[in-house]
Chains A and B, each alone.
Chain A
Amino acid sequence: MAFLINCPNCGHRNPYEFTFGGECKQAPGQDADMKAWCEYLFFYENMPVFQDEWWYHAMGCGEWLKIRRNIATHEIVEV
């Protein structure tokens, strides 16, 4: 992975310091059926466009960051 993540606390850091936490998704409501929960837990869009993702700075400040990243180019436009 040839990109850096600009952590608001630690500055630009190697992505290997982070743990990928998946796409940001809206959780189904409490009344949702099993199919909705299954899709929420196990399926991702994974489209080659910008998407919002969770990244955990495990080797640094220990914060969860919400990052807007193009998964095709690794360009990050928002942290």
Chain B
Amino acid sequence: MTRTRAIVLPAWAGKPVEAEHSGWPVVERFEPPEGDCGVGLTDLSHRPKAILQGPAVAQLGLSKPGQAVWNGQAMAGCLKPGQAIIFDLGGPVEPEWPDSWYSDMTEGWVLLGIWGPQAAEVVQRLVAVDIERPDMPGPLYFAAGSHGIRVQLVNLRGQGPGFLLACDRSQAQNLFDACLRAGAQFDLKITGVKAFYEWFDRLAIAAGVDSSNRQ
């Protein structure tokens, strides 16, 4: 099955070097190379996403809305009691969800990674909620409005600032353009997944998790 990208990449990002992952066109890197940047913006829409409902939410260790957990492969965030969101960053691109409590949203949502030293400054310009929540330890999950779009946001809280943003596929270009505008003054660059995972692997190692077998 051939999938299409929901986002049109601007010409200034460079020439994308693409690969196919289970039918998804994935930008591995750009030519010329992206180099160092204040903020990296990466399209991760090919990664599996799901809504999880029912008793399995508590089994993931999610008891409180806003709480998120990282198991070395996927990030799960609690939206409300009995409902959680799964963003799988490390498993197979064509996942087999364990049971019918999972609703696959891979085709329905886009997923963006915003990472780098000034990622928090960019995200703070996108949403009007407290993205740090000092009262809650560990990764955080939010659903909030941004530019009239319902945006889901995960603050990964790794060694450096890093966030995942998701919204409906039909709103993908609007969210992407909003990220570009918010990041323009912070040296935001559009990157391929290679640059994202180079950063992300440092986060995983810091968490004591081996993600070397990622697909």
Contact = CB atoms under 8 A, between A and B. Distances in A.
B144 A9 contact: no
Contacts of B143: 10, 59-62
A58 interface: yes
A39 interface: no
A19 to B, nearest CB: 11
Interface string B42-66: 0000000000000000000000011
B150 interface: yes
Given A13-B144, A17-B145, A58 B65 contact: no
A59 B150 CA distance: 5
Q: How large is the interface on A (under 10, 10 to 19, 20 to 34, 35 or more residues)?
A: 10 to 19
Contact of A61 (B80, B128, B129): B80
B178 to A, nearest CB: 14
Contacts of B128: 14
Given A9-B65, A13-B129, A14-B128, A59 B145 contact: yes
B142 interface: yes
A61 B81 CA distance: 10
Interface centre among B143, B144, B150 (most CB of A within 10 A): B143
A16 interface: yes
Interface string A3-32: 000001111011011000000000000000
Interface of B: 65-66, 79-81, 128-129, 142-145, 150
Given A8-B65, A14-B128, A60-B144, 6 more contacts: A9-B79, A10-B66, A13-B144, A59-B144, A59-B150, A60-B150
12 contacts: A8-B65, A10-B129, A10-B143, A10-B144, A11-B66, A14-B128, A58-B150, A59-B145, A60-B144, A60-B150, A62-B79, A63-B80
